[in-house]
Amino acid sequence: MVHTYPNPYVDVTDTICVGSEALLMASGADSFTWSVGDSIIASGQSASWIPDSSGTQQVTLTATNGPACAVDVDSDVEVLPLPSSIWNVIGPSCHGSEDGLIIRDTTDIPVSLVSWVGPGIQGDTLAGTGTGTFHVTVTATNGCQRTDSILVEGPPALIDSVGTTPALCGLPNGTATAMIPVPMPGLLFNWGNGPTTQAQALDLPQGNYTLLVSDSSGCEEEYMFTIISLGAITALIVPDSIPAINGQTVLQGFCVPPDSLASYSWSPTYGLQDPGSPVTPCTSEGTTTYYLLVTSSDGCTSMDSVVVLSLPAPVDPLDPCGEAFLPTAFSPNGDGLNDELCPLGGCYTEL
């Protein structure tokens, strides 16, 4: 079989930007090989090529009929440069502030448009930024575009958090400590009583607080925290006074909130059957004030008191004198007390 040399048709994008895709198409041969310089970039009737440098570059098509009847067709492609920008970045002055600035320096390639993605702002300057990554598209007068990602960093936070300990037993003994992410000289801490260099506050009662931290640059940060109360109890005896009929009664106390591991101590202990129990029988002579000290499982204490009133047994209206009985002893010593042996009770009118 005799093969003839092909007369191919070639269609190549003649102008393109660096990094964009150039379309390569050909017909009129059995096979096609595309190359730039000494490098083969593609094969096939249609292909694409993405140049990575600017300037006039020659794309060569090798069109072949049969095994060896080949011709080369050269096409010049003008590869246009992308706009290249130098970005000057000024970060925010304080952590969390939005006074940063991004400024584009001019380059040798004329620029027709600078468009910031997100804010919808155009121009060489983006003001009022916080921290983060900002994206900008620069369009040159030759029509080529480049999108840059610009990182804006700022100073670290003055304070990371506040560590606290609770106010035990409801007393003003809580603490708060400012946690600093990185060592920074010149920090001042205002715990509510004016600035101080102390990063810890002591003897805090239960409540909500706001810490104000400032540095030598004038930056300020606020952090809210709470001191909780832990272990506080209240000892209770209800009612505040109780009668002791014929000197006998029962004392009963408890604590709020309930604590099954709390300990109880009554004082004074005389007349009490179990002074270490929340409930104890009591024998009282006269009027006596008893105190109950409750100690919680956290070591917190509380005290309450009760007045015990010793009262005689109430008189039975059907038997006001009680049952008649004869004493088993008497003392005839002339002191006027029990000098004679005589029956008692029973409301005797005659014996």
Taking only the tens place, the pLDDT of each residue in 193-224 is: 999 999 999 999 999 999 999 999 999 999 99
> Where do you find CATH 2.60.40.10 in the chain?
9-80, 86-152, 234-311
Q: Which residue has the tokens 């039975």?
A: 316
pLDDT at site 109: 81
Under CATH, which number does the domain 161-229 receive?
A: 2.60.40
Q: Name the CATH superfamily housing domain 234-311.
A: Immunoglobulins (2.60.40.10)
Share of the chain above pLDDT 70, in %: 89
Model confidence pLDDT, tens digit, residues 148-191? 999 999 999 999 999 999 999 989 999 999 999 988 889 999 99
CA pair distance 54, 84, nearest whole angstrom: 13
What is the predicted pLDDT for the residue at 342? 67
Write the pLDDT tens digit of every residue in 278-333. Answer: 999 999 888 999 999 999 998 999 999 999 998 886 766 666 666 666 666 656 76
- Please check the confidence at residue 340 and state whether its pLDDT lies above 90: no
| Mean pLDDT, residues 56-84 taken together | 93
Percentages (nearest 5) of helix, strand, coil residues in the chain: 0, 50, 50
Token pair recorded at residue 47: 């292909």
The structural architecture, per CATH, of the domain 86-152 is Sandwich (2.60)
Superfamily of domain 9-80: Immunoglobulins (2.60.40.10)
pTM for the full predicted model: 0.64
| pLDDT computed for residue 2 by the predictor | 76
- Output the CA torsion 92→96→99→104 (10° steps): 50
What the block records as the tokens of 71 is: 């011709």
CB-based contacts of 211: which residues, under 8 Å, 6+ apart? 159, 162, 176, 178, 189, 190, 191, 222, 223, 224, 225
Distance of alpha carbon 19 from alpha carbon 81, whole angstroms: 9
d(CA 285, CA 270): 10
